[in-house]
Amino acid sequence: MILIHGLIYLITSLAAGSLIIGIAAGQINIDTISKVIDTFFFADRLSPWLWSGIGILILLSCLQFISRLFKNVRREKFITRQTAEGQVSISLNAIEDMIRKILEDKEELSHIKPKVTFTRKGINILVRGYLTSEVNLIEFTSDIQEIIKKKITYLLGEDEVLKINLEIKKLAFAASRDVVEDEPRVPFRNY
């Protein structure tokens, strides 16, 4: 369905854009447009009804496409759960902050940027960051995925399907291997 909406949007946009460019460039004039409209749209009695129906379908398709875009943006900001006492809504930003807080103690990671999305299939978590020390990537990433999974499962319950992806954007190892004294930690170092 999205493919059909996308094709209709693409075709109408290309046609409208080409028509406007042709008029502005002087290649298409109003008399030519009038002749084409008379030939295709008013050739017989059924043509106006047929073209009106096609136009209405295109408009409804575009309106439905736009409403789906806005519905998806609205729907994805909160995870809502119904309890015996009432409804509970959890912001995706709150979950991202919790993941950031969990991972800030990991010395091996810096510049942590989690992104949480909620779909019909479950919760998708993407954590991006820089690796600051040499570690076994497979063990390290699986440990982090397990930690995040435990915390999110504890927060939201067992019924959520979680997909946790880790993306190491940069390897930021220290240039020298000299032993450095413990420096005081700067608050908010990852922001």
Q: What is the pLDDT of residue 136?
A: 84
The answer to pTM > 0.85 is no
Q: Which domains does the chain have, with CATH numbers?
A: 2-75 (no CATH), 91-171 (3.30.300.30)
pLDDT at residue 171 in the model: 81
Rama region for 111: left / alpha / beta (φ>0; ψ in -120 to 50; rest): left
> Rounded to the nearest 5 degrees, what angle is found at the Cα of 71, between the Cα atoms of 65 and 75?
150
Residue 17 has a pLDDT of 86
CA distance 25 to 166: 51
Q: Can you give the pLDDT of all 191 residues of the chain as single tens digits? A: 667 777 777 888 888 888 888 888 888 888 888 888 777 777 777 677 787 888 888 788 778 877 777 765 544 577 777 788 888 888 888 889 999 998 888 888 888 899 988 877 888 899 998 888 888 888 888 998 999 999 888 887 777 788 889 888 888 766 545 445 556 666 766 65
What integer pLDDT is reported at residue 157 of this predicted model?
Answer: 76
Helix axes 30-41, 47-75, angle to 10 degrees: 100
CA angle 36, 41, 43 (to 5 degrees): 95
pLDDT score, position 146: 92
pLDDT at 126: 92
How far is the C-alpha of 166 from the C-alpha of 126, rounded, in Å? 6
How many angstroms from the chain centroid is the CA of residue 163? 15
